[in-house]
């Protein structure tokens, strides 16, 4: 039996929290889902089989980075992103809009798109909704993100409104170009991105415009850009409820473990963040008791595991003292093992969330998590 292009079913709810499954040609995605970030066709310091063994159903790839290196057309000639990196399950690609504004130099935005200079070699490029869709098709992405303008934190109401309206026009252009993608459009999905900063009225306008265009799923964009957890949660108290109940809701760029638990409580189904990998490379482990800096001298003779509650191969095999030694001496294996633990922890957290929702005890799970998790 042929798997569906894209379907989403909710198997359990607990207040606003939802547990379900996204079905796609390349496999099922259990929700709530955390997507490890594979920016440049790799989850840094991990092999794809290890990422899968940790429990990940889907990865995130990055349009901006891959269009610059190795290049979208070259990726297509090489058979697409999946075969290139050795990951045969679903991949979501972001549209490149956020990275263009945050990484590249000399950006010039117009109604057409964004002209920018590469942060790598200064070469000139133009990214438009149409080009973003074409790049994501050449990568053979499974879940394509509409091209949007990521509204800056702290902007005025008028700036937020103008930015949101432009993103909605770009969303329609993204939809049209995606639909013209032939075979790819018949096996992939397209998500729209809600904008509107922290403003409820703007978020409502954005949601209504996206629903009118029609997408397979909907992201809550423009958060995790420096507004802080309190403001983010205040926005999530209303923003997800504006989106269709029968479609997945994706909170882009989030986040810390306690951010994720709070967002699931507010109806979010999908997450991505560089934190578990970036923090791992910098000597920070996430544990059920909160983040832990393995560089700290108190661990130099600690023979216990990173996290006694964790079932990952790192915690089963190596001590805090050994990991402290690896990280302090700059050994490559230190970054690899710390990253592997963090990816595993995030997936264990998601599995615990899904099981708690299914059992109707997510409120108790969240309360216990917050008691145990000492956020730094």
CATH code for the domain in which residue 19 is found: 3.20.20.105
Residues 265 and 286 in one domain: no
Residues 167 and 116 in one domain: yes
Position 18 scores a pLDDT of: 98
Across residues 271-293, what is the average pLDDT? 97
Residues 43 and 111 in one domain: yes
Give the integer Cα–Cα distance in Å for 169 and 174. 9
Give the integer Cα–Cα distance in Å for 14 and 126. 45
pLDDT in tens, 53-110: 999 999 999 999 999 999 999 999 999 999 999 999 999 999 988 887 777 667 889 9
Question: 14, 140, 216, 272: which is the annotated catalytic residue?
Answer: 272
Across residues 199-215, what is the average pLDDT? 98
Residues 246 and 313 in one domain: no
Position 107 scores a pLDDT of: 84
Does residue 134 have an active-site annotation? no
pLDDT in tens, 291-326: 999 999 999 999 999 999 999 999 999 999 999 999
pLDDT over 70 (residue 182): yes
pLDDT over 60 (residue 240): yes
Domain enclosing residue 57, as ranges: 6-273
Look-up of token digits 């209303």:
238
Residues 200 and 86 in one domain: yes
Question: 94, 142, 148, 307: which is the annotated catalytic residue?
Answer: 94
Q: Which is nearest to 268 in space by CA: 206, 217, 230?
A: 217
Q: At 92, phi and psi to the nearest 5?
A: -100, 135
Residue 79 within any structural domain of the chain: yes
pLDDT in tens, 108-141: 899 999 998 888 998 999 999 999 999 999 999 9
Residues 35 and 103 in one domain: yes
Using an 8 Å Cβ cutoff, are 113 and 126 in contact?
yes
> Among 273, 290, 305, where does a domain finish?
273
Both tokens of 8, joined, read 């989403």
Does residue 272 have an active-site annotation? yes
Residue 1 within any structural domain of the chain: no
Give the integer Cα–Cα distance in Å for 146 and 250. 13
Residues 311 and 263 in one domain: no
Residues 128 and 155 in one domain: yes
Position 345 scores a pLDDT of: 98
Give the integer Cα–Cα distance in Å for 104 and 149. 14
> Among 224, 254, 273, where does a domain finish?
273
Report the chain's mean pLDDT, rounded to a whole number.
96
Position 241 scores a pLDDT of: 98
Confidence at 375, pLDDT banded by 50, 70, 90? low
């Amino acid at each position: 039996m042929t798997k569906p292009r894209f379907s989403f079913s909710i198997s359990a709810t607990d207040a606003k929290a939802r547990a379900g499954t996204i079905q796609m040609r390349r496999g099922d995605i259990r929700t709530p889902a955390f997507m490890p970030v594979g920016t440049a066709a790799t989850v840094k310091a991990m092999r794809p089989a290890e990422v899968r063994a940790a429990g990940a159903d889907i990865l995130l790839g990055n349009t901006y980075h891959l269009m610059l290196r190795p290049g979208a057309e070259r990726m297509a000639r090489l058979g697409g992103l999946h075969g290139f990196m050795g990951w045969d399950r679903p991949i979501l690609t972001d549209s490149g809009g956020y990275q263009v504004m945050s990484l590249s130099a000399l950006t010039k935005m117009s109604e057409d798109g964004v002209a920018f200079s590469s942060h790598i070699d200064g070469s000139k490029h133009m990214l438009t909704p149409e080009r973003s869709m074409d790049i994501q098709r050449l990568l053979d992405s499974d879940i394509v993100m509409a091209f949007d303008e990521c509204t800056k934190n702290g902007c005025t109401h008028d700036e937020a409104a103008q930015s949101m309206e432009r993103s909605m026009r770009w969303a329609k252009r993204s939809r049209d170009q995606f639909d013209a993608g032939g075979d790819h459009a018949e096996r992939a999905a397209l998500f729209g991105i809600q904008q509107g900063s922290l403003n409820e009225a703007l978020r409502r306008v954005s949601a209504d415009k996206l629903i009118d265009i029609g997408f397979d799923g909907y992201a809550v964009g423009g958060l995790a850009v420096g507004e802080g957890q309190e403001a983010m949660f205040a926005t999530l108290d209303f923003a997800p409820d504006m989106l269709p109940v029968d479609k997945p809701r994706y909170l882009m760029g989030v986040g810390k473990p306690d951010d994720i638990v709070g967002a699931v409580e507010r109806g979010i189904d999908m997450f991505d963040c560089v934190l578990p990998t970036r923090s791992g490379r910098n000597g920070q482990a996430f544990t059920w008791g909160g983040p832990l800096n393995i560089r700290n001298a108190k661990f130099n003779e600690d023979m216990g595991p990173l996290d006694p509650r964790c079932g990952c191969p790192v915690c089963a095999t190596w001590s805090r003292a050994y990991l402290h030694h690896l990280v302090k001496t700059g050994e490559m294996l230190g970054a690899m093992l710390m990253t592997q633990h963090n990816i595993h922890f995030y997936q264990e957290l998601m599995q615990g969330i899904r099981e708690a929702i299914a059992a109707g005890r997510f409120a108790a799970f969240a309360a216990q998590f917050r008691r145990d998790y000492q956020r730094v």
